[in-house]
Amino acid sequence: MTKNIGILIVDDEFSVRNSLYNWFKEDGYRVEAAENGVEVLKKLQENPWDIILLDIKMPGMDGMELQKRINEIDKSITIIFMTAYASIETAVQALKSGAFDYVTKPIDPDDLNHIIRNAIKQKELIAENIQLREKIEELSNYDEIIGESPAMQKIFGLVDMVVKTDSTVMIRGESGTGKELVAKAIHSKSSRRYFPIITINCAAFPDTLLESELFGHEKGAFTGAQYRRKGKLELAHGGTIFFDEIGNISLKTQVDLLRVIETKQFARLGGNETINVDFRIIAATNSDLEKAIKDGTFREDLYYRLNVFSIFLPPLRERINDIPVLTQHFIKKFAISMHKNITGITPDAMDILVRYNWPGNVRELENAVERAMVVGKGPLIRSEDLPFQIIPGASALCTDTLEDIEKNHILKILNRTDWNITHAAETLQIDRVTLYNKIKKYELTRENVSEQ
């Protein structure tokens, strides 16, 4: 690592330059020496430098003046002053001028090495932070939300408006329309983007487990609670918490959640410590919450707390103009991940995609393109590469076993309902326990790819 670090030694005394040069050279650094400011300015034009060891007292241009010139050329260079006139005033002046640190002559090699290591560590942290910020900025756009239709342009406009506030947002739309992507876009473009976004799928947990997921628990709070565990609310502090399928939480949990929203305080299960939290709330649902309020299964006061700013995502069948650009986006995405040289789609195949109704929305389109990319031999996706289910009048000889058909059908319904267990069970006309048993039997997870 040290051979990549460039250290420039600046001192009018040959003995100092020579000894420091030999020390750092032996340690593997890229090192050069200069005896005055003119040489330094020339060397700055020739090579990049990470650290400059700079004598304060030099004839002509002194260290303090030279530091200003160096900063004008490259502010990222770390300056460490050297002085034989150690005093508090000198040290304070050097540090106020932006120097990283200073050493006194005669120089102790151990002290200097310690300062150099700290300087390198700080530069590495700064570089990591820059990379992290660049990554966050990269994510702070609409790359994953694709659409040229007027409906999607309206969505982009709404997102741009709400990211400037800290208002609670309710995202509504059918399963597969991209509600979670919109939630992530709001978070990544907001002032909370340097803090986490915590997602909790309210439909994925039985009520008792959901409480523990949300609030966390203390050791011994219940059977099996062997350790203290932070909940999602605590983990979201400073950032955003995204409640997916908010319509699935029980009335009891709704009361608890309402209290947290109003007070920004809660306690872990089995604990007495009051925990203060600060986060933005984004909720999403494909349920008819207004009907749920009338039916008495969703609290009206919680509804109004969550529905401060509403965004409705239209189903894909109502924005067919977006199908070509979405298809091209998925082709590009899967061509990279599958290392395939497929770059487009034939007009016939595109016509099939545009004419299909897409009950599973964008997620179903993505699955269809992925399937076509798997079987396609390029350079274009053909109509015969598409899932036969979406081809009008198509049929296929099915050789699957009965269990294969059941597994694939359950997975298809789960994906279509965004793994909303209640809705999936209703669609399949079985109870939740039976569905859980089927999921366990077939080892189904969200990572399974739906068979088409």
- Express each pLDDT in 102-115 by its tens digit: 888 888 888 899 99
Q: What is the pLDDT of residue 433?
A: 82
Tally of CB atoms within 10 A around 362: 24
3-state secondary structure of 7: strand
Q: How many CA atoms lie within 13 A of 242 on its CB side?
A: 20
What percent helix, strand, coil does the chain show, rounded to 5? 50, 15, 35
Q: What are phi and psi of 41, to 5 degrees?
A: -60, -35
Q: What is the pLDDT of residue 78?
A: 92
Report yes or no: 80 and 100 within 8 Å, Cβ to Cβ.
yes
Pairing of strands 275-276, 265-266: antiparallel
List of long-range contacts for 374-381, beta carbons under 8 Å, 24+ apart: 374/338, 376/340, 376/342, 378/340, 378/341, 378/342, 378/343, 379/341, 379/342, 379/343, 379/344, 380/342, 380/343, 380/344, 380/345, 380/346, 380/349, 381/331, 381/342, 381/344, 381/345, 381/346, 381/349
Intervals of the chain under pLDDT 70: 1-3, 85-88, 91, 129-143, 393-402, 447-452
Burial of 452 per CB tally in 10 Å (0-12, 13-18, 19+): middle
3-state secondary structure of 285: strand
Tally of CB atoms within 10 A around 9: 24
DSSP, res 341: -
Report yes or no: 350 and 327 within 8 Å, Cβ to Cβ.
yes
The Cα 296–Cα 394 span in angstroms is 45
CA distances from residue 130 to 5, 124, 238 in whole angstroms, order as listed: 18, 10, 20
Report yes or no: 143 and 135 within 8 Å, Cβ to Cβ.
no
Of residues 268, 255, 160, the one with CA closest to residue 221: 268
